Structure 1
Amino acid sequence: MKYVLLVAGTLALGIGAVSAQQDIVKDRQATMKATGRALGGTLSAMAKGDKPYDQAAVDAAFATLTETAKKLPAMFPDSTKGLKEGTEYASSPKVWDDKAGFTAKIESFTKAVADTKAKVKDLDSLKANVGAIGKECGACHETYRLKS
């Protein structure tokens, strides 16, 4: 009987650990989607003239990007390597195999967000500076994201 309880307990812990890892992946996906909306749906859309300039929306978009920059270092724990991700995109194994390179990309993104946020005061400064963040996102995606 003790053996059955031990096995059941061990299985429950294992299932709980997998569930926790899947939650990390879901949070990672939600964060990346919010980041895409903030950058592409708000800042880039305003810079292109597809949306009118709105400082409150700019501030909200930068708050999202800043939050992403803070969360990124912890969003890809080793325990999530190889887990099933989204249907459209997935993390490349290079995220874990090239930790130094991936960390450098995170640092570049964080710097671009902070530098751009400090410079954007109106539509003209948004147009002149928002591309730096998009460049960092694209550079990371080229190496560390796979199309499913």
Structure 2
Amino acid sequence: MRKLVIAISMLALAGSAAFADPILDRQALMKERGKIAGGLLKVVKGEEPYDAAAVLTQLQALQANAEKFDTDVETLFPAGSDTGDTTAAPKIWEDMAGFKAAEQKYLADVKAAAAAAPADVDALKAQFNTIGGDCGTCHQSYRIKKG
């Protein structure tokens, strides 16, 4: 019983520490997202050869990232985390429902791309254009452009 209490306490502590700095945490998720998308972009542009297994792995990683972000939106963007070293626009907190809807559309499109497992580079291009459009729409509305 004591071991169970200790294990639960450790999990609770780990969970609370997971989002000790919401700005850094959301930036880390977005950097990871950008890195994965960048890898897919190289395939789309023909800079790297199309490899169905590798593309599917990247799409699944993108889906896991989007699911984590979607699950933790409120924790990643708590009130008061709009100041400091962040490019998150005030509109996020003014229109949290719209922000969540944009993220959920992105998540749905990423899930669809991963489920479809694009058979060739042309199929990937179509899916990547949709996903990239989601990114652009969200960034235009909910991100402050860096000088």
TM-score range, shorter chain: 0.7 to 0.9
More strand as a share of residues: 1
Count, aligned residues: 126
CA RMSD, 1 decimal: 2.1
Matching of residue 57 in structure 1 with residue 54 in structure 2:
yes
The answer to whether the 8 Å contact 1:102/1:144 transfers is yes
Moved over 4 A (4+): 19-22
TM-score, length basis structure 2: 0.75
User: In structure 1, which of residues 77, 87, 92 is the aligned counterpart of residue 89 of structure 2?
Assistant: 92
Q: Which moved more, 1:130-139 or 1:53-62?
A: 53-62
Residues 57-106 of structure 1, C-alpha deviations (whole Å, 9 max, x = no match): 313321221122212232433245323225xxx10011111011101101
CA distance 1:80–1:52, shift in 2 (3 Å):
farther
Partner of 1:113: 110
Matched-pair identity in %? 37
CA distance 1:35–1:121, shift in 2 (3 Å):
same
What code does the residue aligned with 1:95 have? I
The answer to whether the 8 Å contact 1:109/1:133 transfers is yes
The answer to whether the 8 Å contact 1:21/1:80 transfers is no
> Structure 2, unaligned stretches of length 5 or more?
1-16
Task: Mark the structure with the bigger radius of gyration.
Answer: 1
Partner of 1:9: none
Partner of 1:69: 66
